[in-house]
Amino acid sequence: MNKIQTADVLPKRKKQRGMQLSAPSNSYKIQFNDIVIFILERKMGVTRRMFLMDLARRKGFRVENELSDSVTHIVAENNSCAEMLQWLKGRRMGDRSGFRLLDVSWLTACMEAGKPVDSEKYRLLISRDPRENRNLSPPRTKPVTSQKISQYACQRRTTSNNYNKKFTDAFEILAENYEFRENEGPCLAFRRAASVLKFLPFTVMKAKDIEGLPWMGEQVKGVIEDFLEEGESPRVKTVLSCEYYRSFKQFTSVFGVGLKTSEKWYRMGLRTLEDVQKDKSLKLTRMQRAGLLHYEDLISCVSKAEADSIALIVKDIVWRFSPSALVTLTGGFRRGKKTGHDVDFLITIPEARQEEELLHQVIDVWKKQGLLLYYDIIESTFEKTKLPSRKVDALDHFQKCFAILKLHKERGDHSSSIVSYDSTEEEVKDWKAIRVDLVVSPFEQYAFALLGWSGSRQFARDLRRYATHERKMMLDNHALYDKTKRIFLNAVNEEDIFAHLDLDYIEPWERNA
């Protein structure tokens, strides 16, 4: 497989918010002056285009940010020649005689060869089918008011604009309480209801507004009616004042502490983190000790600016060992969120099989740099012949590193500095501990891993549920399997996975379910 394919597509309107621009073309030495490349963003996306531009420049190619008369080669992905001509015409460059219109596989072949390769076999040609040479416009989706709202989050475009936050916050508290008590049914019911309300482009003002919506069971309706009539929910107030809930909420906020540990501590009579720290009989894991040591930093929100700073650190060290690696910020930040609790990265290497050693090399350097506060590397347990998991919440088998990094603050930024005292002097802490998860995926599984690690959790759950119940397929972070045809379905990007499932593609920023 020789195409460099990612699906890290972000909407154009998000382009200037928190995106790292590609390095200018003069940042690297140009070795091949006769070729001037322009990479088309259309159907490719901002982030993937940036990766390819930077990769080509590091290989000595001249790559322009904007289309101009100096360009000799236009590289596109999943675009027909007719679509390319129409695109050029819209920019008053209908005469294509000065350009070579090429598939992205040409650029990939050049990267592998380390020099320009013959472009003739990679040219985009006019199709003999006249239907393909029309000015094709993307299909229009029906407005929300004229279509039935799906029970599946993967068929709903949910942005971060939540018009029903007071309801969804209440549902999350109730769902969390049921999760602490390991009562899965009501937990899922409230999370599904919250997901539907997050999708609505209006604020629920009366009971009639939720008529006909999926997942609006009696308990859900009761909470909504309480808010509409009284401005609050007695049920939510009861949960918030419950000792069991408050203890579990504290315990599970510690890095490395799950439900089983929380249950154990509660049965021992512990109720607060102060109780935990005072109990010398407890045998804490390395992760839990690190979680308690850096607790105040880790429970504070990570800003998008901090995530971008971590991204620079991660990319710098990964590219030192694997210059062609694709390093993608995933999770909530990829979905356009402004804050998070940790920073997740998905890494893959298109050109070589170097995945197994990469994380160990990265960790060794961070140790020497004094940036590493904690780490735990989990090796891959993936089996190629294994079918995707039937569980919608199944964990994947990629190699991972769960780390806590020391992020030094900018000079003059002491907004969250911690002041500690000893007998002689005051010491200002000029760094913040931030959780960083690194996941390494084989290149052929990258699209599935990217889709799964981008979330949201409810979106991923419903996507897998849809695959099983509506398409007779099995989907996880590694693969998509058609149970009817008994074959694995290949995907080089996220769009391919949606196409296999016969779903409209949903952008990452529309997956905040």
> For residue 239, what are its two tokens?
């949960």
Q: How far apart are CA 135 and CA 87, in angstroms?
A: 9
DSSP one-letter string for 328-393: EE-HHHHTT-SEESSEEEEEE-SSS--HHHHHHHHHHHHHHHT-EEEEEEE-----TTPPPPS-TT
Selected catalytic residue, list 8, 297, 342, 476: 342
β-bridge mates for residue 251, sequence order: none
- Comparing CA positions, the residue from 262, 337, 291, 297 lying closest to residue 512 is 337
Measured CA distances, 217 to 137, 173, 223, 338 (Å): 40, 17, 10, 32
Whether 484 and 472 have beta carbons less than 8 Å apart is answered as yes
Mapped onto helix, strand or coil, the DSSP state of residue 208 is helix
The answer to whether 228 touches 206, Cβ cutoff 8 Å, is: yes
Asked if 133 and 372 touch (Cβ cutoff 8 Å), the reply is no
State how far the Cα of 250 lies from the Cα of 274, in Å rounded to an integer: 10
Annotated catalytic residue within 103, 344, 462, 476: 344
SS3 content of the chain, % helix, strand, coil (to 5): 45, 15, 40
Three-state DSSP class for 247?
Answer: helix
Tell me whether residue 342 is one of the annotated catalytic residues.
yes
Q: Which residues pair with 420 in a beta bridge?
A: 427
Tokens in use for 478?
């590694």
Catalytic residue annotation:
342, 344, 437
